[in-house]
Amino acid sequence: MCNLSFLTVVVWCHFGYTCKKGTEKGVFVMGIKRIYEKIGQTQINTAIIVAGIVIAAALRQLSRLSSVQSVDDAVTLLRPTIYILIFGSWGISVRKRIVNNRIRQLLTTIASLMIFWVCVRTIKYTAESYEVIRYTWYLYYVPQLFIPTLFFVVSYSLGKREESRKRGAIVAFAVSAVLVLLVLTNDLHQTVFRFDGRPFTEHNYSHQPVFYLVWGWMVLLALASTVLILVKCRVNEKKKFVILPLVAISVAFLYAVLTAAGNPVVKVIAGDMTVSFCVLYMFIIESCLRSGLIRISTGYEELFRRSTIRAQILDDDYKTFLSSGDAVTYPIQTIRETEWGPVLLEDGIRLSNFKIRGGHFLWQEDTTELFNVMQELDEAKKDLEARNAVLAEAYNAERNLHRLEAQNNLYDSIQKKTRKQINMLSRLLRDYRNAETPGERTEILRRIIVLGVYIKRRNNLIFISEQSDKIPVRELELCFEETVNDLELAGIRSSCFISAGDEIPTKIATEIYDFYEKICEEVYGGTESLLIRIYKEKGCFVLSIDLKCNELKLMGMSDAEVSEEDGIIEITRRFREVAE
């Protein structure tokens, strides 16, 4: 009765803390909550399970010693109920603690098989039909084989890739499934148990080869699981906990050896093999969880409370379920506004809401510092815009100044390079005004036209030279074509042939045109015909002028070759292209 009273108190404490509505009612419940927090949820759960196992073991001894049938019947129903509650609550606890979905499913299945085994055992010992007893006995081997198999898959899965995990699990499950099928169909072949006669009962049979194969497979799985989980799984940083799985495994193997040897003490204390098998596996798995060999997720509530993030977990009615230490509670109406988006409060706090299953996750962000930074950035932006405007104005003024200077330099260059022709043009204009006869005026006008074309085309070459170091040969052709046409108007038969490629250096083009103009000025008066040839030869641009004139007055022609044959004077000058 003392044990039962202790269990009742602990269960009610556990219920009072975990019940969501109970945490909000009364001084008693608040006291329970403080006790629960002081002791710890893990310790409370352990105490409940240990107390349940102790009570169930005591009830078993009571049933053995009592000769009262009603007591026997009550214990027969009460003990399985206690174990079902223990294995069920442990399975729920495992499901809540484990992060990995696959491992969580496997261990939950193990807890379900333990409950199934207890139920089958209860049916077996309360049934009266030989058939029911025998087939429930066969059904023992479903959890007996698949619990070790599932635990082996758990240990094998940790640290393995998905493809490797699948292959190992398929092999293990396939072997266990075949063995279970052989046990369940034993009545057909009797390779597991051979019965001496009818009816087939557990009192007149002998073990056959498949029976030893089944137990050998279970032992192999247990040994393999032990080695794998100690070698491959993550070891907790607290080295003192690593011994816990070793203790659990050692107890399990000691129990197996003593049971196989028929030790009377073990038979009295833990003679119920079904319960002992399940409890030992639960002990081994729980020791792996506690030691960190299998990863679990616990302590998150305390971590959330101590977090520096200002956040709260609320239920659907916006009542606080969990809150971090720095979080501020705001009115429900304010919180409801966050359903449509973040809300910026007057104190610079931005509330954001994220819908989760069963409630809401609310977090608070202090945007004061961010707002101040944004203001500073905005002021800096305005200051930079003002500076940029001043700099842009100064740049435009300087650019206009440079443009005017470039234009002035260009005009100075034009005036300098064509000063002689401009002066000559001015003199011809004065002569034109002073001419007495129409013939003189016509001759002067022709010379003015030729000279004006040169000035125009020479200025065009100056403009082009400011933009590029090379010009298309076509530009030079246009200069000579227009000049030749004007010479024709002046009565001088002229022709021009240019074959100098696609491009010509601007400097050479202007020198060729200037040299041609110089020749024209020297021989204009007495020239009858003029042939101009420009071509490229041995890396040089060559200007060749053939002319027929009455008298030749060439001055300063040291850089040109002059020859005469049959009254035709040939003037040749080479312009060498300088490599850059």
| Contacts by 468-473, CB closer than 8 A, 24 or more apart | 468/506, 469/505, 469/506, 469/507, 470/503, 470/504, 470/505, 470/506, 471/503, 471/504, 471/506, 471/509, 472/502, 472/503, 472/504, 473/498, 473/500, 473/501, 473/502, 473/503, 473/504
d(CA 219, CA 144): 11
d(CA 131, CA 116): 19
pLDDT of residue 573: 84
State both tokens at 101.
């979905």
Answer whether 310's CB lies under 8 Å from 327's CB: yes
pLDDT of residue 163: 52
Question: Under 8 Å CB-to-CB from 577, ≥6 apart: which residues?
Answer: 505, 508, 539, 540, 541
Work out the number of other CB atoms within 10 angstroms of the CB of residue 327.
20
> Inter-axis angle of helices 419-434 and 368-417, to 10 degrees?
50
Residues comprising the chain, all counted: 580
d(CA 220, CA 212): 12
| H or E element in which residue 505 lies | strand 503-505
Specify the residue for token string 């916006």: 318
Phi/psi-derived region of residue 313, left when phi > 0, alpha when psi is between -120 and 50, beta in every other case: beta
Question: Under 8 Å CB-to-CB from 423, ≥6 apart: which residues?
Answer: none
Pairing outcome for strands 470-472 and 493-499:
unpaired
What pTM did the predictor assign?
A: 0.52
Phi, then psi, of 258 in degrees rounded to 5: -65, -35
pLDDT of residue 51: 80
- pLDDT by residue for the chain (580 residues), tens digit each? 333 333 333 333 333 334 333 334 433 444 444 444 544 566 777 778 788 778 877 777 776 666 666 666 677 778 888 888 988 888 888 888 887 788 888 899 999 999 999 898 888 878 778 788 888 888 989 998 999 999 888 887 765 555 556 777 888 899 999 999 999 998 888 888 888 766 666 667 788 899 899 989 988 888 888 787 667 544 444 444 467 777 777 787 787 777 767 777 766 676 677 888 888 888 888 888 877 777 776 667 777 777 778 888 888 888 888 888 778 888 888 888 888 888 888 777 888 888 888 888 888 887 778 778 888 898 889 889 888 888 888 888 888 777 767 666 666 666 666 777 777 778 777 777 777 787 777 777 777 777 777 777 777 777 777 777 888 888 888 888 887 887 777 777 888 888 888 888 888 888 888 888 777 777 666 677 778 888 888 878 888 888 777 655 555 566 778 877 777 888 888 888 765 4
Architecture of domain 420-576: 2-Layer Sandwich (3.30)
Q: Exposed, middle or buried by CB within 10 Å (0-12, 13-18, 19+), for 177? A: middle
Bridge partners (DSSP) listed for residue 207: 193
Q: Can you give the residue ranges of every domain in the chain? A: 1-97, 307-366, 420-576
pLDDT of residue 339: 81
